[in-house]
Structure 1
Amino acid sequence: MNGVLVIDKPCDFTSFDVVAVVRRLSRERKIGHTGTLDPMATGVLPLLLGKATRAASLLEDSDKVYRAEFQLGVDTDTQDNTGTVLRRSDAPVSREQLLAALPSFRGDILQTPPMYSAVRKDGRHLYELARQGIEIERKPRPVTIYRLELLEYNEPERRGSLLVECSKGTYIRALCADLGQAVGSLGMMTALRRTRACGFSLEQALSLDEARSLAEQNQLGSRVLPVESLFLHLPQISVTAAQSMRFQNGGALALERLRLSALPAPEARIRVYSPEGEFLGLGRADAETQELAVLRLFCDSGAEQRRPEIKSVFRGICKGNSADREGLV
């Protein structure tokens, strides 16, 4: 199988657990995911199957959307309800206070990664140090909160939910904790559901039970989306047969000879298709050479396409007599 399978990750499964399950169901060995979800989190987890794994390094900057549940007045070592309670606060917090605090978290902000995170320090994950009771100083990192809304809030219980659209690397647990401090209290995350990632939504996602059922009917492949669905936000071009073969063999294409309405910006990424409409891969506009260089191929290269023919010829040579072989040397 080659393409993208969007899974609705269940609670208490790691992202690698989901990969292991889908590997068994699809019988595809090469599978990767586009962004780790904590075990307590649920929601959209796009899996890359087969040749689609080549896209992994190209998706690092994808934005994500979450629905996060929070509880004010409680602080834990993990910044969520799976950790040990460190402090409590009885300070009341009104809805108006929360709404007034939200604007300071929108846009480009600095966020300190939690100790219970996969961030590395001197070659070790922070969560490894945290489990040993070690806490170290962490440098704040720039992240972007594109959208932050208060969806619900129960003032007596100080519980609520947030809609968060953010950049890669944003810790929603830290956001809940920081929001609690901003309103003069404490805060922790109590649930997290990712509703959108890499352009895919919950409406496109399969539960693991649904995936198992489809696999039993040999229909799982029908829900695998094509590789190009990862890059639909990029412009596209169709090339000639000769250009298609050159591109598949790793050769750059002259920009002036392509059917472009305007020259692309330097380093711009473009989807490249064959005359038959096959997605070949991504090209990158090289301003210095004025060429569209191969960024990543997602089809069989020209050499791979000719490999069966080469093997057939080689087998024919091996079956021939010694005189034939000598004549071919």
Structure 2
Amino acid sequence: MFFHKKRNVNGLLLLDKPKGISSNNALQQVKSIFKAKKAGYIGTLDPLATGILPICFGESTKFSRYLSESDKKYHVIAKLGEKTSTSDSDGVIIKKRPIVFTALQFYSSIKSLIGSIDQVPPMYSAIKYNGISLYKYARQGLDINRNSRKISIYNINSINQKNNFFEFEVFCSKGTYIRTLVEDLGEKLGCGAHVIFLRRIKVGSYICEKLVTIYDLNKLLKKDNIKHNSFFKNIDDLLMPIDSPISFLPEVYISSEESYTFKLGKTIDCCSNIENSLVRVKEKDKEFIGLGKINKKGLLIPYRLVSTVTN
């Protein structure tokens, strides 16, 4: 039946991941709704977390790593005085301590976490050890030695600390574990802490204004008659262009003749003041062709091309 036929879907969807499911579970639901042949998400969010989960479809997956390397911003609420097995409220409380720090200690502890810091990834993470995710070892009660990673915390602001809760926004580099950040702060304060609310509110230049929920998609699914393709048209209209993951890169426009040569994987002369940089290459009619690099000699070199696909 047509309903079950997989499609070539291309583009980027900014999903508002719901609380209580894994990022992969959210991806599989969206992929099923779109009947997409190929899709992947950028930047894992914990089951507890909500917010921006970029999902790349088809040809857009070729450029996903550039967005995954982008900085992120989170809205966080943490509870003080309790340390849990997972560093968030999904785990069990393993230690309780009194809250006795001063306001000065609180702000100086926060200040010490801003900048370039070393962070040890948590056991409850998707990082692999010997091909197996760390969280699988953690569920067996095993603690694997992990190397620290260098991350950057650019800012921690909008702080509201009251009783045993504190709320803030953190702007950070890729690879930052907010649960670990909160747990480290709890240790600096001598009372322990864990995350009870986590929402990703920015990925690269993308903010929450363009988010689509799984509920939105299912609502369209029930409303439209799929036999007339109205559903697919409506959900495909929600997608951002294939080159959205690299929207921060400059654009270069070439002629149809140059495009033909470029698509063959051949270098072409480029009349641009850009040099030694990756660029988004488009034809004069603004069709995205792929990722290229302009060298110091002004030559445009094919780097990653978009394939011509049909359903």
TM-score (norm 2): 0.88
| Identical positions, percent | 31
Q: Which residue of 2 aligns with 1:231?
A: 246
More helix by share: 1
Contact preservation (8 Å) 1:238, 1:259: no
Structure 1 unpaired stretches of 5+? 306-329
Query: Is 1:285 aligned to residue 300 of structure 2?
Result: no
Q: Give the SS at the match of 2:13.
A: strand
Query: Is 1:128 aligned to residue 143 of structure 2?
Result: no
Q: Which of 54, 57, 69 is the matching residue for 1:46?
A: 54
- In 2, the alpha carbon distance for the partners of 1:125 and 1:229 equals 30
- In 2, the alpha carbon distance for the partners of 1:108 and 1:202 equals 27
Q: Which residue of 2 aligns with 1:27?
A: 35
Q: Which residue of 1 aligns with 2:266?
A: 251
Superposed counterparts of 1:109-188, under 5 Å? 109-154=117-162, 156=163, 158-188=164-194
Q: Which residue of 1 aligns with 2:228?
A: none
Cα gap change, 1:72 to 1:270, in 2 (>3 Å) = same
Q: How much has 1:48 moved relative to structure 2?
A: 0.8
* Code of the aligned partner of 1:152: N
* Code of the aligned partner of 1:163: E
Q: Which residue of 1 aligns with 2:5?
A: none
- In 2, the alpha carbon distance for the partners of 1:112 and 1:150 equals 25
Q: How much has 1:263 moved relative to structure 2?
A: 4.0
1:105-128: CA deviation from partner (whole Å, max 9, x where unpaired): 112110011111112223322212
Aligned residues: 293
1:9-56: CA deviation from partner (whole Å, max 9, x where unpaired): 101111121122212221212111111111111111111112212222
Query: Is 1:275 aligned to residue 287 of structure 2?
Result: no
TM-score (norm 1): 0.83
1:216-272: CA deviation from partner (whole Å, max 9, x where unpaired): 432111211112222221111111222111111211223xxx121x242x3x21011
Contact preservation (8 Å) 1:95, 1:153: no
Q: Give the SS at the match of 1:87.
A: strand
- In 2, the alpha carbon distance for the partners of 1:30 and 1:85 equals 40
Structure 2 unpaired stretches of 5+? 1-8, 225-230
Q: Which moved more, 1:64-73 or 1:46-55?
A: 46-55
What RMSD over aligned residues (CA atoms) do the two structures have, in Å?
A: 1.9
Q: Which residue of 2 aligns with 1:18?
A: 26
Q: How much has 1:286 moved relative to structure 2?
A: 4.0
Q: How much has 1:299 moved relative to structure 2?
A: 4.9
- In 1, the alpha carbon distance for the partners of 2:243 and 2:290 equals 8
1:166-212: CA deviation from partner (whole Å, max 9, x where unpaired): 11111000000001111222111111101112432211001111122
